[in-house]
Chains A and B, each alone.
Chain A
Amino acid sequence: MDSGGRFRFPSVLAVAVALAGCGADPARSFQYDPVEYHGARYLAVALVAGIVLAAWVLVRALRRRVGGAHFGALVVTSLVMLPLLSLATGMLLVFQRAERVEFCASCHRTMSAYVDDMQDPGSRGLAAIHYRNRYIPHNQCYECHTSAGMFGTIEAKLGGIVDVFKYYTGTYDVPLRMRSPYPNADCLKCHAESALWLARAEHVAAREALFTERIKCMDCHGAANPAHPVGPDGGKP
């Protein structure tokens, strides 16, 4: 069957790519992340297969060879199923990767100074102290800049999309400012009631005020150890 023969090439290629992507054994480590590991591979396989098949459809359409018994299946697979599968898998990975420090740092003009300070072993900033002591093992920017719970995540992602848009359209202002004062809840989600936190008499005395945001954490900590000691020009203040 002629049309079947023409269809065989991309089918075999797609299956081969899929097997190659899924056959590898995950190099497990204590930092093994199944979403990242499998998500990236499945997405890559779906994307490559989709690109090959969509290009095949395009070539056949340009050559006016749009008939054949399997052409409808080829069209649906390449232009509907694989793109939708890619988007569904991709969004998981988008959410996952948008939490990485490297992702935040990719907005060089605005974020590099903050990330550099955080990773500076000599910095006295709160972010740097958390980073070098590994108080937060992964996604250090994200962990402190998102509120607890599902809505905190959604709020952070939406805010991030707006930030990326502003960055690439150049519609941001420097020096950068927080959208709203840093909420105590974002500190207390980790520190509250911890032994170290309770060991400080000031915390215990101001407990209710801190929990209700009548006193801000940054009122005390911001002056001695600003979160990010970065000047308006990106250098040390």
Chain B
Amino acid sequence: MSVHFSSRAARRGLIASSSLTLAALLMGLAFVVHTTGGTLFLFATVAPVLVVAAIVILAAVALHEFRGQHKLFEIEYYDPGEAVFRQGDAGECAYFVRDGEVEVVKVAEGKETVVAKLGKGQYFGEMALLSNEPRNATVRTSAPTELATLGKTNFLALLSVLPSTQEDIMKTIRTRAMRMAGVPESEARRSRMSRLPAPPPAGAGESAPATPDVPGRRDGPPPEG
């Protein structure tokens, strides 16, 4: 089982856990170097509590991350204006819009630009899973929205067993990348028809570059979604 501590919550949990562990170990060192009633008491009573707390936090973080990566179409509900994820967050799952609407917002130099709006039947969040890079845009809802989430592991498994899904997703990624690069929609459609990218190797989603041939990819990542 491989667990990545990639999300913001996981990172905070890791910081808390390592801080508690450090405190406990320093108590131990104080006890070894200079044994007094105080250092012994701290090491014998407080340090075990800190270590157990650190392990519990770590286990909770690992479980949370593992579940996040193995989501299988869990349904999430969002109010209007709520962020589904933010630019720079780690990618744990892909989202499928069951109802409502979301907008993809690119943040650059503190300025927000809405680059796309997605509605029922569309999906987003797949690019970070394929490229193994942080989210390259913020996605927030513009109406009451119902999303189905698919964890990274299951998403990559889906791609490897359903080649047609791979093609569909790669088309979408290409279109979005070209839209981001300022290529007109009609041109993007033509390019899409003539140059379908090779699908990533099955089960190699962790390291395979998602869109090696996407224009604009080298200058800057395309919008999430």
Q: In the complex the two chains form, is A43's CB within 8 Å of B25's CB?
A: no
CB <8 Å contact, A165 and B47: no
Q: Which residue of B lies closest to A52 (CB)?
A: B25
Contact segment of B16-24, B76-84, B138-146 = B16-24
CA A23 to CA B36, docked complex, whole Å: 28
Is A94 touching B37 in the complex (CB atoms < 8 A)? no
Specify which of B10, B14, B43 is in contact with A57 (CB 8 Å cutoff). Answer: B14
How many A residues touch the partner, as a band? 35 or more
Complex interface: chain B residues within 8 A of A165 (CB)? 41
Pairwise interchain contact A75-B41, C-beta atoms closer than 8 A: no
- CA A51 – CA B55 in complex, angstroms? 15
Number of inter-chain CB pairs below 8 Å = 115
Please provide the chain A residues from 64 to 123 with a CB less than 8 Å away from any CB of chain B in the complex. 64, 66-67, 71-72, 75, 78-80, 82-84, 86-87, 90-91, 93-94, 97-98, 100, 102-103, 106-107
Known: A54-B18, A58-B18. A107 touches B37 (CB 8 A): yes
List the B side residues contacting A84 at CB < 8 Å.
51, 55
In contact, A93 and B32 (Cβ under 8 angstroms): yes
Residues of A contacting B21 in the complex (Cβ-Cβ under 8 angstroms):
50, 54, 78-79, 83
The 8 A CB mask of A40-66 against B (1 = contact, 0 = none) is 100110011011001101100110101
- The yes or no answer to A167 lying at the interface (CB within 8 A) is yes
User: B4 at the A/B interface (Cβ < 8 Å)?
Assistant: yes
Closest chain B residue to A44, Cβ basis: B32
Give complex CA distance A113, B9 in Å.
Answer: 53
A30 within 8 Å of B (CB atoms): no
Asked if A198 is an interface residue, CB under 8 A from chain B, the answer is: no
Given contacts A87-B51, A164-B41, A165-B41, are A47 and B35 in contact (CB under 8 A)? no
Query: Is there a chain A Cβ closer than 8 Å to B45's Cβ?
Result: yes
Residues from chain B with a CB closer than 8 A to the CB of A94 are 31, 40, 43-44
Interchain nearest-CB distance for B80 vs A (Å): 30
**Considering only CB atoms, which chain B residue lies closest to A49 in the complex?**
B25
A32 contacts partner chain B, Cβ-Cβ < 8 Å: no
Contact-size category for B: 35 or more
Cβ A48 vs Cβ B29 within 8 A: yes
A72 to chain B, nearest CB (A): 6
How would you classify the secondary structure of chain B's contact residues: helix, strand, loop or mixed? helix
Contact in complex: B55, A72 (CB < 8 Å) = no
Complex Cα distance, B24 from A91, in Å, reads: 13
- The yes or no answer to A151 lying at the interface (CB within 8 A) is no
Of chain A, the residue at the smallest CB distance from B5 is A66
B194 within 8 A of A: no
Tell me whether chain A's interface is mostly helix, strand or loop, or mixed: helix
- Which residues of chain B come closer than 8 Å to A93, judged between CB atoms? 31-32
The answer to the question of A161 belonging to the interface, with a C-beta cut-off of 8 Å to chain B, is: yes
A158 to nearest B CB, angstroms? 11
Specify the chain A residue showing the minimal Cβ separation from B61. Answer: A75
Question: Once the chains bind, are A54 and B22 in contact (CB under 8 Å)?
Answer: yes
Contacts of B15 in A (CB 8 A): 58, 61-62
Interface residues, chain A, with chain B CB atoms under 8 Å away: 40, 43-44, 47-48, 50-51, 54-55, 57-58, 61-62, 64, 66-67, 71-72, 75, 78-80, 82-84, 86-87, 90-91, 93-94, 97-98, 100, 102-103, 106-107, 161, 164-165, 167-168
Beyond known contacts A79-B17, A102-B35: 17 more, CB 8 A cutoff: A51-B22, A54-B22, A57-B14, A64-B11, A66-B6, A67-B6, A72-B4, A75-B5, A75-B58, A78-B21, A80-B55, A83-B24, A86-B28, A94-B31, A103-B35, A106-B37, A168-B41
Q: Considering the complex of A and B, which 9 residue pairs feature the smallest CB-CB distances, nearest first?
A: A106-B36, A58-B18, A61-B14, A66-B5, A164-B37, A83-B51, A164-B41, A57-B18, A54-B21
A-B contact pairs, 20 of them (CB 8 A): A44-B29, A47-B25, A47-B29, A61-B5, A61-B14, A62-B15, A66-B11, A66-B14, A67-B4, A75-B58, A79-B21, A83-B24, A87-B28, A87-B48, A93-B32, A94-B31, A94-B40, A103-B36, A103-B40, A161-B45
